[in-house]
Structure 1
Amino acid sequence: MLDNAIFWHVYPLSATGAPVRDWGESDEAHRLPRLIGWLDYLIELGCNGLLLAPVFASSTHGYDTVDHFRIDPRLGDESDFDLLMAACRERGIEVLLDGVFNHVGAHHPMVEEGGPVKRGPDGRPVGWEGHGDLVELDHSDPRTEDLVVDVMKYWLDRGISGWRLDVAYSVPVWFWAKVVDRVREEHPDAVFLGEIIHGDYAELIRDGHLDTVTQYELWKAIWSSIRDVNFWELAHALKRHEEFMAAGPMQTFVGNHDVDRIASTVGDAGSALAAVLLFTVPGVPSVYYGDEQAFRGVKGTGFSADDAVRPALPDDPAELSSLGQEMFELHRNLISLRRRHSWLGGGHVEVVDTQNESIRYAVTAEGHRLDVHLTLAPDVGAELIFDDGEEFSVRR
């Protein structure tokens, strides 16, 4: 599945207009089917995968799960989920769900009922990274393994293609290996994407038996190099990326639900270069909803820190502002280029020349070559030349 996958990454709670905090029964609604109206947009963009942030019952933002087997009532119920899945199947769209298996919400029944959660010497639940509303699971308890396996198989049986594993880097690698092996006994084609911000990318894939992991090093180098006019950082990251790709296909991105919007960080011109990088560098790309429209958003502080980067979508794509059309067309053209040269996903990247304000790199596979030249000064632009004669340029 990952050989030609390009995902559109959506945060369903906010995207469908659901309240994230201070909600009650009056806020429960059948919002999940609203995403069906965006599936043709996803296809028009050129994506073939839908990566959904948490959809399970939770107390607030979705990462504080209280029931892994129930759709969040702010999004609807299982019938709503089935409608969305049926619409995805009709269009050939593969769906990955976000599984939060490092911790649960403090109000999860297992916390009070003696479930497999970590407890301190005083018997009180252990909060994850100081968050009292997030309780760490005890991965040494066999019940945790059984729970995760059961949850994964339940939703795979309902038609999803795989899982994004939230904060996979905080979970013992051996735990993932045991869980993945058990799940694949019944679902051999299931895909497992591990979130890793820091740590050993290759180890998580190799010893955790995962298919891919998030390439945060490359994400940081892309926006930082463009913002600081320092392509030496990107050159170093691309060399590392080539090493990581030897372990497995890296999941590449320039935006997600946890980081500032790329357009807010480097502007429209910089965002265009970031998109060129995303769709020419080997890996499994994902587009965070709205980045293809040059959405703005900067993380704040406190409980509402993420609200700005997790906005609501209009009811219909036709209601989007025309201001984002140029960025949308660029993304669509680059994804089309990626489709025509599908070998890029599994190719090899090599930096050819580096200056502060420019970089040249080549992506190769057997019988194929792409040369890319990015510049930040005196003008912002990109030149792409394929060995079959196709060329593509970006000028800002």
Structure 2
Amino acid sequence: MLKEAIYHRPKNNYAYAYDEETLHIRLRTKKNDVEHVNLICGDPYDWKNGQFQTHQLPMLISGSDELFDYWFVEIKPPYRRLRYGFELTNDSEKLIYTEKGFYTEKPLDDTAYYFCFPFINEIDVFHAPKWVKDTVWYQIFPERFANGDKSINPPGTLPWGSAEPEYNNFFGGDFQGIIDHIDHLVELGITGLYLTPIFKAKSNHKYDTIDYMEIDPQFGDKDTFKHLVQTCHNNGIKVMLDAVFNHSGYYFPQFQDVLENGENSIYKNWFHLREFPIITEPMPNYDTFAFVKDMPKLNTENPEVKEYLLEVGRYWVREFNIDGWRLDVANEVDHQFWREFRQAVKSIKPDVYILGEIWHDSMPWLQGDQFDAVMNYPFTNGALQYFAKDAVKATHFANIISGVLHSYPNNVNEVQFNLLDSHDTPRILTICDNNKDKMKLLYLFQLSFTGTPCIYYGDEVGMTGGQDPGCRRCMIWDKDKQDLELFNFVKKLISLRQTEPAFGNQGSFQFIEANDESNHIIYKKTFENESLLFVMNNSNTNIEVKAPITSDAIDILSGEQVKPGTIRLDSYGFKVFKLIR
């Protein structure tokens, strides 16, 4: 065995409390190097005749990537504490792996050899809001969804959809427009609404905040926003707002005071200023988002800044009963601020959802003291590379997704925010080169995967658009111009996610096959005694697949009954079988 590949740590995604009495333990080994793994475990205070008392539990492979196999076991320690190691075997060798290294036999004279999970303290268990697991999100860029109140149009507002989106044009989208079209979300099956920033700002995207306590007048007033939240809640839809605490806008009054008064400004410590006088061109001499002079970085370690922003977090939850915060550029803000932010907003509403925008490995933010989830871009990138771009084959895709699932604990994965596109990216139909069949495969995979999925407004009716601002076109409301067949397809998948436990977030995910020659994948979702088998042909040719069906099954999309044998799939075709036991 390759010892260098064998890895475990008694924390984070390798050993964690799934709930108040259950531990999940994972082990990594070189791919195809180990045939069997047993968990060696016992209570640290259980001794007889001078020996530590242990028992063994078999571990199963929960997934593999390009280099490694991952082994998994669930255990309920009687006294909520555990010492443990691993017994690994293949056809030529047996190893005992412990915190102190490798042995040929179990050391039983001292528990110090073994990995230690000291105690399952309830306060340390990762808890995300339960409602998120069953939520299907819909992201709206408010300026471009619907114009419901022309009396509050900003100056220079263009007729709806009359021009291509630009960085500085306006079409008058507002809260009333969303309220007027709430039936569209209800019919689709949406249960969560994610709004990009609504606070007072100069731009059409509103990520350059002027006042965090005021709504931009082009969207409406606070009474209208309360009406929007209540309308959503009356229709079973949660509401999540977007906040930028990493940086303010150029016209944020505190920054304007710094520009006017320089070193004499009472707000000079609200920002990261390197020298005086302040210079904005050609390169700002203060820290910003990227090098954008209009977005000065806030000093979240400053007590005044911290209290101001924490009150922002509390205020919109307390006064408007919102259900979540999506946090922009979250990785550039200090961890201590996020710890205090979590405490602040959850003191008002314990089940508020806290979502960070982080594009890379996010384990430091997902240990129960900061975020409930992050935007799952590794999932996004893997799905787009395989289904949309044909950049990777089936095996590579399966490796990517297995890596995604093993990057975090299962109770984190269940609330990860799984998106395919957004206001920051080209639309998925455009990425798919307008191939609607590829787009359907993406939706089928997204809506049957572990986590909480999000649909970007307009995608469900076939809207296209390139990199922003192209992806921010006005929503199409003319039924004759909407792709209603695509809408009904997405609606059907959302319905299955809500009515079939194994299809949705309660089902455990497992790849069964990834075939590079035909470029098809097979995966299974299992919940209790129910299993669903997904067979997807990501190629432009018809194929025949020997699916692992041992008895009669039902295709839940067509209602057709299927017998064991070979399955024919059209190009970019798919089947979802409910296995009858």
TM-score (structure 1 length as normaliser): 0.88
Aligned partner of 1:165 among 327, 352, 361: 327
Q: Which residue of 1 aligns with 2:464?
A: 296
Once residues 176 and 122 of structure 1 are traced to their aligned partners in structure 2, the CA distance between those partners, rounded to angstroms, is 30
Question: SS at 2:483's partner residue?
Answer: helix
> Is 1:155 aligned to residue 323 of structure 2?
no
Aligned partner of 2:556 among 380, 391, 395: 391
Once residues 31 and 45 of structure 1 are traced to their aligned partners in structure 2, the CA distance between those partners, rounded to angstroms, is 21
Alignment of 1:181-196 (within 5 A): 181-196=343-358
Q: Which residue of 2 aligns with 1:327?
A: 486
Query: Unaligned stretches of 5+ in structure 1?
Result: 300-305
Once residues 573 and 429 of structure 2 are traced to their aligned partners in structure 1, the CA distance between those partners, rounded to angstroms, is 16
Once residues 371 and 246 of structure 2 are traced to their aligned partners in structure 1, the CA distance between those partners, rounded to angstroms, is 16
Question: SS at 1:345's partner residue?
Answer: coil
Q: Which residue of 2 aligns with 1:64?
A: 208
Question: SS at 2:295's partner residue?
Answer: strand
Once residues 259 and 387 of structure 1 are traced to their aligned partners in structure 2, the CA distance between those partners, rounded to angstroms, is 43
Work out whether residues 145 and 175 of structure 1, in 8 Å CA contact, stay in contact via their aligned partners in 2.
yes
Once residues 350 and 390 of structure 1 are traced to their aligned partners in structure 2, the CA distance between those partners, rounded to angstroms, is 19
Work out whether residues 384 and 392 of structure 1, in 8 Å CA contact, stay in contact via their aligned partners in 2.
no
Q: Which residue of 1 aligns with 2:229?
A: 85
Once residues 111 and 241 of structure 1 are traced to their aligned partners in structure 2, the CA distance between those partners, rounded to angstroms, is 40
Task: Say what the alpha-carbon RMSD is for the aligned residues.
Answer: 2.7
The aligned amino acid for 1:255 is: D
Q: After TM superposition, give the deviation of residue 391 of structure 1 in Å.
A: 2.5
Once residues 492 and 528 of structure 2 are traced to their aligned partners in structure 1, the CA distance between those partners, rounded to angstroms, is 24
Once residues 177 and 322 of structure 1 are traced to their aligned partners in structure 2, the CA distance between those partners, rounded to angstroms, is 47
Alignment of 1:76-225 (within 5 A): 76-113=220-257, 114=267, 116-122=270-276, 124=278, 125-157=286-318, 158-198=320-360, 200-206=361-367, 208-225=369-386
Q: Which moved more, 1:370-379 or 1:95-104?
A: 370-379
Q: Deviations over 1:120-149 (max 9, x none)?
A: 234644221111111111121122221221
Residues 380, 185 of structure 1: alpha-carbon distance in 2 compared, 3 angstrom cutoff = farther
Once residues 462 and 548 of structure 2 are traced to their aligned partners in structure 1, the CA distance between those partners, rounded to angstroms, is 22
Query: Which has the larger helix fraction?
Result: 1
The aligned amino acid for 2:273 is: R
The aligned amino acid for 1:324 is: D
Q: Which residue of 1 aligns with 2:440?
A: 272
The aligned amino acid for 1:331 is: V
The aligned amino acid for 1:204 is: W
Q: After TM superposition, give the deviation of residue 268 of structure 1 in Å.
A: 0.9
Percent identity, aligned pairs only, is 26
The aligned amino acid for 1:85 is: V
Work out whether residues 260 and 298 of structure 1, in 8 Å CA contact, stay in contact via their aligned partners in 2.
yes
Work out whether residues 177 and 208 of structure 1, in 8 Å CA contact, stay in contact via their aligned partners in 2.
yes
Q: Which residue of 1 aligns with 2:423?
A: 257
Question: SS at 1:185's partner residue?
Answer: helix
Higher relative CO (Cα under 8 Å, sequence separation at least 6) belongs to 1
> Is 1:33 aligned to residue 176 of structure 2?
yes
The aligned amino acid for 1:150 is: E
| Equivalences, count | 382
Q: After TM superposition, give the deviation of residue 62 of structure 1 in Å.
A: 0.7
Alignment of 1:342-353 (within 5 A): 342-343=501-502, 344-353=504-513
> Is 1:5 aligned to residue 135 of structure 2?
yes
Residues 134, 372 of structure 1: alpha-carbon distance in 2 compared, 3 angstrom cutoff = same
Once residues 149 and 77 of structure 1 are traced to their aligned partners in structure 2, the CA distance between those partners, rounded to angstroms, is 22
Work out whether residues 369 and 387 of structure 1, in 8 Å CA contact, stay in contact via their aligned partners in 2.
no
Question: SS at 1:92's partner residue?
Answer: coil
Work out whether residues 103 and 135 of structure 1, in 8 Å CA contact, stay in contact via their aligned partners in 2.
yes
Work out whether residues 262 and 271 of structure 1, in 8 Å CA contact, stay in contact via their aligned partners in 2.
yes
Question: SS at 2:366's partner residue?
Answer: helix
The aligned amino acid for 1:55 is: I
Residues 363, 30 of structure 1: alpha-carbon distance in 2 compared, 3 angstrom cutoff = closer
Question: SS at 1:16's partner residue?
Answer: coil
Once residues 290 and 351 of structure 1 are traced to their aligned partners in structure 2, the CA distance between those partners, rounded to angstroms, is 31
Query: Unaligned stretches of 5+ in structure 2?
Result: 1-130, 158-169, 258-266, 279-285, 559-571, 575-581
Work out whether residues 174 and 207 of structure 1, in 8 Å CA contact, stay in contact via their aligned partners in 2.
no
Residues 320, 362 of structure 1: alpha-carbon distance in 2 compared, 3 angstrom cutoff = same
Residues 358, 30 of structure 1: alpha-carbon distance in 2 compared, 3 angstrom cutoff = closer
Work out whether residues 7 and 48 of structure 1, in 8 Å CA contact, stay in contact via their aligned partners in 2.
yes
Aligned partner of 1:309 among 438, 454, 471: 471
Once residues 186 and 233 of structure 1 are traced to their aligned partners in structure 2, the CA distance between those partners, rounded to angstroms, is 44
Q: Deviations over 1:322-359 (max 9, x none)?
A: 55111101100000110112453143322221123111
Q: Which residue of 1 aligns with 2:410?
A: 246
Q: After TM superposition, give the deviation of residue 48 of structure 1 in Å.
A: 0.9
Once residues 118 and 126 of structure 1 are traced to their aligned partners in structure 2, the CA distance between those partners, rounded to angstroms, is 5
Residues 33, 323 of structure 1: alpha-carbon distance in 2 compared, 3 angstrom cutoff = closer
Once residues 292 and 105 of structure 1 are traced to their aligned partners in structure 2, the CA distance between those partners, rounded to angstroms, is 33
Q: Which residue of 2 aligns with 1:231?
A: 394
Once residues 254 and 176 of structure 1 are traced to their aligned partners in structure 2, the CA distance between those partners, rounded to angstroms, is 26
Question: SS at 1:351's partner residue?
Answer: strand
Question: SS at 2:348's partner residue?
Answer: coil
The aligned amino acid for 1:136 is: K
Q: After TM superposition, give the deviation of residue 387 of structure 1 in Å.
A: 10
Once residues 73 and 277 of structure 1 are traced to their aligned partners in structure 2, the CA distance between those partners, rounded to angstroms, is 39
